[in-house]
Structure 1
Amino acid sequence: MALIPVILAAANVNVVVVDWSAGANAINYRIVNWNSVSSGEAVARFIDWVNDITGSNPGQYHIIGHGVGGHQAGVVGRNVKGQIDYITGLDPALIGWVNNIDRFAPNDALYTEVIHTNYGVNGYLADLAQVDFYPNGGISMPGCGSNECDHARSFFYFAESITSGGFTGRECLNYYAAVLRMCDFHSGRLQMGGLTPKLGKTGVYFLETNPAPPFSQG
């Protein structure tokens, strides 16, 4: 499911796609991660320029990033002084980010959300945002036979959340409980994804998905 057409069909918005492939194609992970920070800082400067020219404000933006781009989205928000309305991290990357001060952080925007689908391999293990979702425990997705497929599922789940809004997470005590699928004793419920920030919400949530579209179980 292509994300841009889904967003444009759901809302009257402008979509800006950042092509940082020149910096993302290095073999060395350290260089890629460094480039992602530089790129994120450049995007933040672009947003400030657009706002100065048009009279727009950071509260009108929703930044979305996948993998290394998930951390990059956080860098953007941080450099717009945390005033971006909404940042979504789609399975932010693991390698090189555990002790990295530039990794995704809860206060990078007014509302931050992360969807974990391949923790400990391609994706970051621990919670990173104000709200973190761990579909199917966060590592192995139904219908997938590889880590690459698991990692990509965050993208597809988010796209479907815009069209259906049907992913309902159950609150967990912490991300350990989400990974172990031990979240039945907590009553909190929250919808995953979508284009509307859930301002004021926090916590870790678990949900199950179908192996093929529609992935949502309601």
Structure 2
Amino acid sequence: MQFLLALSSNPILRKLDPKLRYQHVRDARGEYHLVDLWMKLSDLAESARYNPSANVYHLFTRENPTASQPLLINSPGLLEMTNYRNNRRTVVLIHGWRDSVLSDFNTVLVPAFLAAEDLNVIALDWSAGSGSVNYAAALANTITSGRAVAEFINWLNEASGSTPVQYHIVGHGLGGHQAGIVARNVKGDVTIVTGLDPSLIGWINHSDRFQPDDATYTEVIHTNCGVHGYISNLAQVDFYPNGGESMPGCNSHTCDHARSFFYFAESLTTGGFTGRQCVNYMAAILQTCNILPGRLQMGGLQPKIGRTGVFLLETNAAPPFSRG
């Protein structure tokens, strides 16, 4: 008697979610996609076709606040032709899934940062990796892109004389986790990493997710936790506006998810957003944070080095969002 072993031509390599294989995930455009969270060989093959050298880096400064200047790794001549200055702090912005450099994330944050301080603002376009409807492939590309961005920053520092302490890396959704990946692969200690509603699906048990020690100071703002956004605390300091879900003035999860960068943009220019400390993230979600005396401002330009904890605050339904 002969026994035949039938091997799948597309085997499962990793279960991004060990329980629910198929889930509906909404992208940055507000469109739902039924995604397979068990990574198959074909997903890995698609991810392997992504070349992170296709990433494009768009430089904005107060000298060119609306029209970007391109930066390319290993192109010092091009760098010299731009308005990049090594005596400024540098912000790196990383968009999310199915998004691009033209996303609201960038159109909101670039002018907010430049209004707040004379900075180099670099908006990353990794849409070649994030644009796939295949969420498992896009998630894998998040890690590949993050390492490539770190290589770019390492080169930029060597070419310009800048240092990691001058950097503030900010990411949204998948880009929220990528911001941490970038910082932990940069040579030296990045000062600030801000995660704006970092993604939940596929990241719960993922070793490359946002980590508290990715930078000297790390902060996360949760505005759609448990749906698009990660539900529990990830950083040294985690803010849960309005309990982290159902933002005032919003009628969709997409709006909630985006509120993270609208709140952050306002914090850069006007301050406000005073959070009160919670015992843990569940207390923040349940909005029962009336025991601890701690208070802390959400967002802003300056790191709150030495501060830790979970904080709750309430917002207005329309700008100005801050209640002070």
TM-score, normalised to structure 1's length? 0.98
Specify the code of the residue in structure 2 equivalent to 1:86.
I
1:82–1:125 distance in 2 versus 1, CA, 3 Å = farther
Count of residues in Structure 1 that have an aligned counterpart in Structure 2: 218
Specify the code of the residue in structure 2 equivalent to 1:17.
A
Residues 29-88 of structure 1 show CA distances to partners (whole Å, capped at 9, x for unaligned) of 111111111111011001111111122110000000000000000000111156100000
Query: Which residue of structure 2 aligns with residue 110 of structure 1?
Result: 216
Query: Which residue of structure 2 aligns with residue 138 of structure 1?
Result: 244
Query: Which residue of structure 2 aligns with residue 149 of structure 1?
Result: 255
Query: Which residue of structure 1 aligns with residue 192 of structure 2?
Result: 86
- What pairs up with 1:154-193 in 2 under 5 angstroms? 154-193=260-299
CA distance in 1 between partners of 2:164 and 2:184 (Å): 11
CA distance in 1 between partners of 2:166 and 2:269 (Å): 20
Unmatched segments (≥5 aa) in structure 2: 1-106
Describe the SS at the equivalent of 2:201: coil
CA distance in 1 between partners of 2:188 and 2:282 (Å): 28
Cα contact 1:29–1:95 (8 A) shared by 2: no
Aligned-pair identity in percent equals: 65
CA distance in 1 between partners of 2:245 and 2:300 (Å): 21
Query: Which residue of structure 1 aligns with residue 323 of structure 2?
Result: 217
Query: Which residue of structure 2 aligns with residue 127 of structure 1?
Result: 233
Cα contact 2:170–2:179 (8 A) shared by 1: yes
Describe the SS at the equivalent of 1:102: coil
Query: Which residue of structure 1 aligns with residue 180 of structure 2?
Result: 74
CA distance in 2 between partners of 1:191 and 1:209 (Å): 13
Describe the SS at the equivalent of 1:133: strand
CA distance in 1 between partners of 2:176 and 2:239 (Å): 14
User: For 1:202, which of 279, 283, 308 is the aligned residue?
Assistant: 308
More helix by share: 1
Larger Cα Rg: Structure 1 or Structure 2? Answer: 2
Deviates more, 1:27-36 or 1:162-171: 27-36
Stretches of 4+ moved more than 6 A in 1? none
Specify the code of the residue in structure 2 equivalent to 1:173.
V
Deviates more, 1:167-176 or 1:47-56: 47-56
- Greater RCO, 1 or 2 (C-alpha within 8 Å, sep 6+): 1
Describe the SS at the equivalent of 2:277: strand
CA distance in 1 between partners of 2:251 and 2:222 (Å): 17
More strand by share: 2
Describe the SS at the equivalent of 2:122: coil
TM-score, normalised to structure 2's length? 0.66
Unmatched segments (≥5 aa) in structure 1: none
Given the alignment of the two structures, is residue 37 of structure 1 paired with residue 143 of structure 2, yes or no?
yes
Deviation at 1:181, TM superposition (A): 0.6
Query: Which residue of structure 2 aligns with residue 64 of structure 1?
Result: 170
Residues 1-35 of structure 1 show CA distances to partners (whole Å, capped at 9, x for unaligned) of 72101101111110011000111111121111111
Query: Which residue of structure 1 aligns with residue 58 of structure 2?
Result: none
Cα contact 2:154–2:187 (8 A) shared by 1: no
